[in-house]
């Protein structure tokens, strides 16, 4: 059986006695392995159709988790990948499938916050992730998804889709296209600051949702960050911004009634406080640009949804023909609301930063 054979490739404590499927992820296949020595592990088959370079992916993940583990006194505060019998962070089986294993930690995850403390704990976790890796040489990591948050390139691709209009859908979305293109200059500012060296290159997670934070079952406090598949060099403000785009929004990403979509300033402050309390190595410029990170990430995602709609929905999974258009419109509504609240966002960041950096 491929699962059992893959498990034996890793340096486990004891022999496997039980294996069961766990989790509800849509990309990787995940299993819990129990051994006769009482050890518990998570075994995952990496989806190589989604992640084209699993070797580099695991090289990145293994390097940063080893780095973090040297800094923590509680092993639950960092994933611990188990190496194979020949010392690798991954195993390639005879069918060309890639597997990885790490220690099982008995915490839990949430898809959405059940209270604002959950959102705060998420901020602490991702801020701590930034802090723990603030002295890691980010340039040594592989960019597993090239130009992922390069908004200059994202807008280039978007304009090509608008020009080509391969599905004949442009006439129905000209207002949305105009809205996005009118914000291209502002939306590419962080990329230009990165290229000019005004914002430092950091190790970034690039999927900073609450369900990627492991919480303690007893205390409900954050333990560590999960799902390191998209870890690569980037900007701290992108990680912050994507958390706000998702966690401080007042409606779902595919809410059809865009009047329900806005940004909750209170939740913005909650997350900002947690992030800055733990990410103490951020520069003054990074802190100043946190609100812009939220704006840019939301604008970027809006262009990606609308581009996919124009091209026939090849990238994002859709449940009905207008699904990507609905998503694009909610993100546009969120961008518009952020524009109205930008001064308040900047004030909140400045006040929180002054308080936590006393």
Compute the distance between CA of residue 208 and CA of residue 241 in angstroms, rounded to an integer.
9
State the total domains in the chain.
Answer: 2
pLDDT surpasses 70 at 263: yes
CATH code for the domain of 15: 3.30.200.20
The answer to whether residues 244 and 124 belong to one domain is yes
48 burial level (CB within 10 Å; 0-12, 13-18, 19+): middle
Which domain does 273 fall in, by range? 116-356
The answer to whether residues 32 and 140 belong to one domain is no
Compute the distance between CA of residue 337 and CA of residue 285 in angstroms, rounded to an integer.
24
pLDDT of residue 312: 97
| Beta pairing, strands 222-225 & 98-103 | unpaired
Confidence of residue 1 (pLDDT cuts 50, 70, 90): low
Summarize the confidence of residues 189-205 as an average pLDDT: 97
Summarize the confidence of residues 54-71 as an average pLDDT: 95
pLDDT surpasses 90 at 25: no
Which segments of 165-247 does DSSP mark as H helices, in order? 174-181, 184-187, 189-195, 236-247
pLDDT of residue 158: 98
Asked whether residue 109 is assigned to any structural domain, the reply reads no
Of 50, 77, 103, the one marking the end of a domain is: 103
Name residue, tokens 């990948």. Answer: 81
pLDDT surpasses 90 at 51: no
Sequential DSSP letters for 226-271:
---TT-EEE-HHHHHHHHHHHHSBSS-TT-S-GGG--B-HHHHHHH
Best-predicted range by mean pLDDT (16-25, 118-127, 224-233): 118-127
pTM for the whole structure? 0.92
pLDDT of residue 106: 84
Percent of the chain exceeding pLDDT 90 equals: 89
SS3 for 100?
A: strand
Percent of the chain exceeding pLDDT 70 equals: 99
pLDDT of residue 198: 97
Q: Is residue 263 a contact partner of residue 341, using CB atoms and an 8 Å limit?
A: yes
């Amino acid at each position: 059986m491929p699962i059992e054979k893959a498990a034996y490739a890793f340096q486990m404590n004891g022999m496997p006695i039980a294996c069961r499927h766990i989790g509800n992820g849509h990309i990787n296949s995940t299993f819990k392995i129990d051994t006769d020595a009482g050890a518990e592990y998570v075994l995952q088959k990496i989806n190589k159709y989604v992640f084209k370079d699993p070797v580099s992916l695991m090289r990145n993940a293994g390097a940063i988790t080893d780095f973090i583990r040297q800094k923590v006194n509680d092993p639950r505060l960092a994933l611990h990948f188990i190496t194979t019998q020949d010392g690798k962070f991954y195993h390639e089986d005879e069918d060309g499938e890639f597997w990885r294993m790490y220690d099982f930690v008995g915490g839990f995850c949430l898809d959405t916050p059940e209270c604002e403390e959950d959102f705060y704990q998420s901020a602490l976790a991702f801020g701590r992730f930034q802090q723990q890796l603030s002295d890691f040489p980010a340039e040594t990591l592989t960019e597993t998804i090239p130009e992922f948050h390069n908004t200059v390139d994202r807008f280039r691709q978007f304009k090509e889709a608008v020009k080509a209009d391969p599905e004949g859908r442009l006439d129905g979305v000209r207002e949305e296209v105009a809205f996005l293109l009118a914000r291209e200059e502002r939306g590419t500012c962080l990329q230009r600051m990165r290229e000019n060296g005004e914002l430092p290159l950091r190790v970034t997670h690039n999927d900073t949702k609450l369900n990627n934070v492991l919480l303690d079952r007893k205390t409900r406090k954050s333990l560590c960050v999960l799902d390191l598949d998209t870890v690569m060099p980037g900007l701290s403000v992108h990680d912050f911004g994507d958390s706000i785009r998702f966690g401080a929004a007042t409606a779902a990403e595919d809410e059809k009634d865009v009047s329900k979509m806005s940004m909750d300033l209170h939740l913005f402050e909650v997350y900002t406080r947690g992030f800055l309390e733990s990410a103490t190595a951020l520069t003054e410029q990074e802190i100043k640009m946190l609100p812009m990170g939220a704006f840019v990430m939301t604008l970027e995602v809006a262009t990606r949804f609308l581009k996919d709609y124009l091209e026939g929905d090849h990238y994002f999974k859709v449940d009905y023909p207008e699904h990507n258009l609905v998503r694009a419109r909610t993100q546009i509504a969120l961008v518009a609301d952020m524009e109205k609240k930008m001064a308040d966002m900047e004030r909140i960041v400045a006040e929180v930063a002054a308080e936590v950096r006393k």
